[in-house]
Amino acid sequence: MDIQSAYREVGTYRGAAEICGVTHKTVKRVVATMLNDGRDPAVAHNYDAVTDLVAERVERTKGRISAKRLLPVAIAAGYVGSARNFRRLVADEKAAFSTEHHRGRRPATWAAGEYLVFDWGEIGPLYVFCAVMAWSRWRFVAFADNLGAEQTMTFLAECFEQLGGVPKVALTDRMGCLKGGTVAGVVIPTPAYVRFSAHYGFIPDFCEGADPESKGIVENLVGYVKSDLMIPEELVVTDLVRANVKGRAWCVEVNTQVHSEIAAIPAVRLETERELLGPLPSLRPSIAKTVVRKVDRLSCIRFGSARYSVPNALIGHEVAVAVSEGRLEISEGDELVASHLVVAPGEVSLDDDHYGGPRLAPRRAIRAKTASEKAFLSLGETAESFIRGAAASGMTALAGDLTELVAMRAAHGDAALVAALERAVAFRRFRAHDVRSILAAGKGLPQPRARGEALIVALPSVPTRSLAAYAIGASS
């Protein structure tokens, strides 16, 4: 009413805005509403002509069509505005469709002793494992530096110990460490998780994909831990030991307070629920503690200040490392990729199969740079052998002799020079005048060969006589 009175008095938008302490646009909107009998005036937009088209397409696709896909259709229908303005229209229509077609959900009802819901959360460099009994709302929290399968099952076993029993069903999302595959939307748990659940006697269950509402009870717990437990002034999130101490104290605190949803104390309800839990197994399964390592460029991981090899194909990948009965087991996912005996710090354990075979002797390639080197090496492998032999003999004048050797090629031909070089290599004569002497001697030179096998001849056997047969006077 003040804006309307000020506008009647001064007659301008800006004058009334200065009197009322608002902008002239606000005054214009209020005055336009007053002139339209209290109704907001209809504002024209450049997309009004295609509003019905957008609404129809959003309705047909159940709110899943994108503005990028719909824009060419709107342009063909006469839309001349910007893509940004059109995205606003599509967003408004999809929001209206979502409001009118909300799927609706009914509150969950839980039976005592039936469901344990668990999940992982990430807080800085640490991961937090959260579990809650659905009926009693009893909560369990633990921190770790990895969220692998062994760590998950270790915390589940610890949670069962604190519960004093085993629930009928353990529900989680489709976490990769426990999911072996998916067929027709059905999650196949890993063999290790199946063995673990069979040993403890619970049913492993997985929620629907991309459906956090189906396990919202634990999603709320993860958010509650982040907002209520992880207070920067009281907890250093990089300190794993301190985080777990703080987490255990926090669980005791929240489990002894009245829960707002059930209007009861979770620890008290757990006493009733514990009677319906399954018994703990008499023998606890041994779950190897694993750590995560990244494979370096040497195709190795470091563990306990020692180095262990893995297949070359895993360079740059992260692998899980566990020690069991004196052997170091290295796995990627559920696949065992390497196994080594544990070695002392500073030592190296290598498997030749990880590198495609045993280590080869280093070989330095010969690279010609000068014209004489290129011409000499064009003679083939014999020329390379000559250079390697001369270098091994410390022949420092070899570079100057190459020019003379190349000149001999023109005078004697390739075949004769190659034969002379072979003889020079055999007798370790690497000067140019040695090769020239061999060429001058011609083909009548002896060709020594390596010593062969010993000649063994089978001699005939003859009868032998004793020395008494040769005595004087002996009868012949």
CA 315 to chain centre: 11
Do 84 and 137 reside in the same domain of the chain? Answer: no
Taking only the tens place, the pLDDT of each residue in 204-248 is 988 877 666 666 666 777 888 877 776 554 444 567 778 888 889
Quick one: 229 exposed, middle or buried, by C-beta within 10 A (0-12, 13-18, 19+)?
buried
212/204 Cα distance (integer angstroms):
17
pTM: 0.46
Residues paired with 399 in a beta bridge: none
In a domain, 197, yes or no: yes
45/86 Cα distance (integer angstroms):
10
In a domain, 284, yes or no: no
Question: Nearest to residue 2, comparing CAs of 15, 12, 16?
Answer: 16
The pLDDT of 119-137, averaged and rounded, is 88
Residues paired with 292 in a beta bridge: 320
Do 270 and 129 reside in the same domain of the chain? Answer: yes
Do 130 and 238 reside in the same domain of the chain? Answer: yes
In a domain, 220, yes or no: yes
In a domain, 312, yes or no: yes
Question: Taking phi first (over 0 means left), then psi (-120 to 50 degrees means alpha), and beta for anything else, what does residue 138 get?
Answer: beta
In a domain, 362, yes or no: no
Task: Give the pLDDT score at 233.
Answer: 44
DSSP 397: T
In a domain, 106, yes or no: no
295/311 Cα distance (integer angstroms):
9
CB 440 within 8 A of CB 434: no
458/464 Cα distance (integer angstroms):
18
Do 155 and 213 reside in the same domain of the chain? Answer: yes
Domain range enclosing 340: 291-355
Question: Taking phi first (over 0 means left), then psi (-120 to 50 degrees means alpha), and beta for anything else, what does residue 76 get?
Answer: alpha
CB 148 within 8 A of CB 94: no
Q: 182: domain CATH number?
A: 3.30.420.10
353/341 Cα distance (integer angstroms):
16
The pLDDT of 420-448, averaged and rounded, is 83
Question: Nearest to residue 141, comparing CAs of 60, 59, 244?
Answer: 244
In a domain, 75, yes or no: yes
Strands 348-349 and 306-309: parallel
∠ Cα 270 275 276 (to 5°): 95
Task: Give the pLDDT score at 159.
Answer: 93
Taking only the tens place, the pLDDT of each residue in 448-460 is 777 788 888 888 8
In a domain, 105, yes or no: no
Do 342 and 454 reside in the same domain of the chain? Answer: no
180/206 Cα distance (integer angstroms):
12
CB 150 within 8 A of CB 290: yes
Do 202 and 272 reside in the same domain of the chain? Answer: yes
At position 357, the amino acid (one-letter code) is: G
Number of domains in the chain: 4
Task: Give the pLDDT score at 289.
Answer: 64
CA 80 to chain centre: 47
Domain boundary among 355, 382, 401: 355
Grouping H, G, I as helix, E, B as strand and the rest as coil, residue 91 is: helix
Do 55 and 132 reside in the same domain of the chain? Answer: no
Do 426 and 304 reside in the same domain of the chain? Answer: no
Do 11 and 151 reside in the same domain of the chain? Answer: no
CB 150 within 8 A of CB 287: yes
Do 468 and 429 reside in the same domain of the chain? Answer: yes
Give the range with max mean pLDDT: 126-140, 282-296, 362-376, 395-409: 126-140
In 145-266, beta strands by DSSP E: 169-172, 179-183, 186-189, 203-206
397/400 Cα distance (integer angstroms):
6
Do 381 and 348 reside in the same domain of the chain? Answer: no
% the chain with pLDDT above 90: 27
Do 157 and 15 reside in the same domain of the chain? Answer: no
Residues paired with 267 in a beta bridge: none
Identify the residue whose tokens are 């180095």.
307
Taking only the tens place, the pLDDT of each residue in 267-296 is 999 999 999 999 998 876 655 567 899 999
